[in-house]
Structure 1
Amino acid sequence: MATMKDIARLAGVSTSTVSHVINKSRFVSDEIAERVNRAAKELNYAPSALARSLKVNRTQTIGMLVTTSTNPFFGEVVKGVERSCYQKGYNLILCNTEGDSERMKASIDTLLQKRVDGLLLMCSTLEGEQIDVFERYPDIPVVVMDWGPMSFASDKIQDNSYQGGYLAARYLIDCGHHEIGCITGPLMKHQAQIRYEGFKRALNEAGLAFHRDWIVESDFESEGGYQAFNKIFASGSLPSAIFACNDMMAMGIINAAHEKGIRIPEDLSLIGYDDIHIAKFMTPSLTTIHQPKYRLGQAAVETLLKRINKEITEPQVVQLEPTLVVRKSVRRVGN
């Protein structure tokens, strides 16, 4: 691999002159600059990103940790992160935690040793974990995405899940439904809990009763939705509508209902949450709460870069608002 010394030798100039031409750090005459650039091209010279990063104390690299899931939601958020990094001239190193706290801590340690400029964390399955590694790197910028309360300082990007849960239940009520069930995510997780709290607020405002057999805690996965619906079915009666607290569980519900000859929305209305890309291609197409996934990733990168560039000093919380997407899985009843 050619070095600046090789270019200097071929061009008949000093190494410092080559450096000034390559880095554009000082004026060099057009004639000398042309000789240097011609020599660099002849030697197939490529600047060392490592050397430059050591000089400016930046690697133009961001590390991101995400928990593996079958839910396309995560992939759609990562797409927003990756596109934003590319547009801003940054590289992205993606690490999968597999929902394991030790693997998460090891991945963070590895990324910091590789001198990433900042970190994005999207590992809500590890909510509440004490991450001691940040005590050894107190100055590393960190942005947390879609997570609950944290034991370390960071900026945070989140969906207004309380409002989203409220919107879902309110739409079912406005469509004339009075017997409404809910399949929640793991209620020990902050986002799952507040999504359910929004749902409860809408029912309380409407003066509707809660049927405990129609409220089932699940895991945000399709299999969990499938099993949760079977549990409601086994209780002996069905609500007229169900709020599935994410689209993956809604897929499981559609499958379980179809096996039992229960038609959606004729026999059971269903609303999901997230608006993953495939939601509109389900049968029937899924009415759901749209979570701005691409914007979530974009906002995380923008906030992290502001932190890296010291444009912000106080912890930031950026909250993105959900919206209702009406499709074919909810029917209107009564008048």
Structure 2
Amino acid sequence: MATMKDIAKLAGVSTSTVSHVINKSRYVSEEISERVNSAARELNYRPSALARSLKVNRTKTIGMLVTTSTNPFFGEVVKGVERSCYHKGYNLILCNTEGDNERMRGSIDTLLQKRVDGLILMCSSLEGERIDVFEQYPDIPVVVMDWGPMLFTSDKIQDNSLRGGYLAAKHLIDCGHKQIGCITGPLVKHQAQMRYEGYKRAINEAGLTFSADWIVEADFECEGGYDAFNRIYAKGKLPSAIFVCNDMMAMGVINAAHEKGIHIPQDLSIIGYDDIHIAKFMTPSLTTIHQPKYRLGKAAVEALLNKVEGGSTDAQVVQLEPTLVERSTVLTLN
């Protein structure tokens, strides 16, 4: 493999001149620059990314941890992260935690040992966890996406789930529904709790009553929505509408309702949350709360690189606002 010394010998210049030309670290005349570049091409020279990273103490690499899920929400966020990294000239190393706490900690340790410039974490198991390894790498910036309180310093990018839950229930109320159920995510998770709190706020504001039979906790997966609807159905009379706290569970609800001959939205209105890409292609297409997934990913990269490239060192929270997407699963009552 050709080295800078080989280029210097062929071009008839010093090694330091070759370095200045290749790294663009100092002005070199056009004639000499051309000789150096011509020699580099002739020798098929490729600069060492490792050597350069050691010299500038930067690898141009970002590590990202995500939890396992069948929910395409995560893939859509990762797409925003990866594309933003590409446009900024950074590489992305993606690790899957499989929802395992030890694997999560091991992956964080591995990424830090590989000298990534920063970390983006999107793992629900992080909530309320203290990650001791961060104390060994105090200069590595961390951005946490879409989860609750952390016991370490980081920027945070999140969706306003309280507002989103309120918008969902308020839309059902505005469409004339007075008997409104809710299938929540795991209420130990901050975002699930906030969506449920938003639902309760809208119900209270409208002076409607809650029925414990119509409020069920589930797991943010299709099977969880399917089972949650069956539990509501088994208790007797159904509400006229249900706020299902993510689109994956809403798909499970619609499937379970279809098996029982319940028509959506004629017999039961459904509103989801996330606006995953396939939501508009369901039958009927799903009314939902749009979470800005691509912008979540883009904002995470921008916040991280602001720290990496010498911006503010203070921890910041960036909150993106959800919006209502009206489709075909909510019936307007007279």
When structure 1 is superposed on structure 2, of 6-15 and 247-256 the one drifting more is 6-15
Preserved CA contact (<8 Å) 1:270 1:329: yes
CA distance in structure 1 between the partners assigned to 2:56 and 2:195 by the alignment: 44
1:308, CA displacement in angstroms? 1.2
Partner residue of 1:327?
A: 327
CA distance in structure 2 between the partners assigned to 1:231 and 1:288 by the alignment: 22
Q: Is 1:309 aligned to residue 290 of structure 2? A: no
Partner residue of 1:201?
A: 201
CA distance in structure 1 between the partners assigned to 2:316 and 2:26 by the alignment: 39
Deviation track 1:73-102 (CA, whole Å, cap 9, x = no partner) reads 000000111111111111111111111111
Tell me the SS of whatever aligns to 1:273. coil
- In the TM superposition, 1:1-335 aligns within 5 A as 1-334=1-334
CA distance in structure 1 between the partners assigned to 2:23 and 2:310 by the alignment: 24
Preserved CA contact (<8 Å) 1:244 1:250: yes
CA distance in structure 2 between the partners assigned to 1:304 and 1:60 by the alignment: 12
When structure 1 is superposed on structure 2, of 70-79 and 17-26 the one drifting more is 17-26
CA distance in structure 1 between the partners assigned to 2:88 and 2:179 by the alignment: 49
CA distance in structure 2 between the partners assigned to 1:155 and 1:242 by the alignment: 34
Q: What code does the residue aligned with 2:270 have? A: L
1:21, CA displacement in angstroms? 1.5
Q: Point out where structure 2 has 5 or more consecutive residues left out of the alignment.
A: none
Preserved CA contact (<8 Å) 1:241 1:269: yes
CA distance in structure 2 between the partners assigned to 1:25 and 1:194 by the alignment: 51
Preserved CA contact (<8 Å) 2:72 2:276: yes
Preserved CA contact (<8 Å) 2:101 2:125: no
CA distance in structure 2 between the partners assigned to 1:19 and 1:264 by the alignment: 68
When structure 1 is superposed on structure 2, of 76-85 and 122-131 the one drifting more is 122-131
1:51, CA displacement in angstroms? 1.0
- Name segments (4+ residues, structure 1) moved above 4 Å: none
When structure 1 is superposed on structure 2, of 10-19 and 319-328 the one drifting more is 10-19
Tell me the SS of whatever aligns to 2:272. strand
CA distance in structure 2 between the partners assigned to 1:304 and 1:29 by the alignment: 37
Identity %, equivalent residues: 82
Q: What code does the residue aligned with 2:235 have? A: S
CA distance in structure 2 between the partners assigned to 1:80 and 1:44 by the alignment: 35
1:9, CA displacement in angstroms? 2.1
CA distance in structure 2 between the partners assigned to 1:34 and 1:290 by the alignment: 53
Relative to structure 1, the CA distance from residue 149 to residue 239 in structure 2 (aligned partners, 3 Å threshold; closer, same or farther) is same
TM-score (norm 1): 0.98
Deviation track 1:126-146 (CA, whole Å, cap 9, x = no partner) reads 422221111111121001000
Q: What code does the residue aligned with 1:322 have? A: P
CA distance in structure 2 between the partners assigned to 1:2 and 1:147 by the alignment: 48
Q: Point out where structure 1 has 5 or more consecutive residues left out of the alignment.
A: none
Preserved CA contact (<8 Å) 2:126 2:150: no
Deviation track 1:38-72 (CA, whole Å, cap 9, x = no partner) reads 11101110111111111111111111101111000
1:12, CA displacement in angstroms? 2.4
Preserved CA contact (<8 Å) 2:180 2:239: yes
Preserved CA contact (<8 Å) 2:61 2:91: yes
Tell me the SS of whatever aligns to 1:251. helix
Relative to structure 1, the CA distance from residue 100 to residue 231 in structure 2 (aligned partners, 3 Å threshold; closer, same or farther) is same
1:332, CA displacement in angstroms? 0.8
1:36, CA displacement in angstroms? 1.4
Deviation track 1:103-126 (CA, whole Å, cap 9, x = no partner) reads 111111111111111100000244
Preserved CA contact (<8 Å) 2:50 2:59: yes
Preserved CA contact (<8 Å) 1:101 1:129: no
Tell me the SS of whatever aligns to 1:156. strand
Preserved CA contact (<8 Å) 2:177 2:333: yes
Preserved CA contact (<8 Å) 2:178 2:208: yes
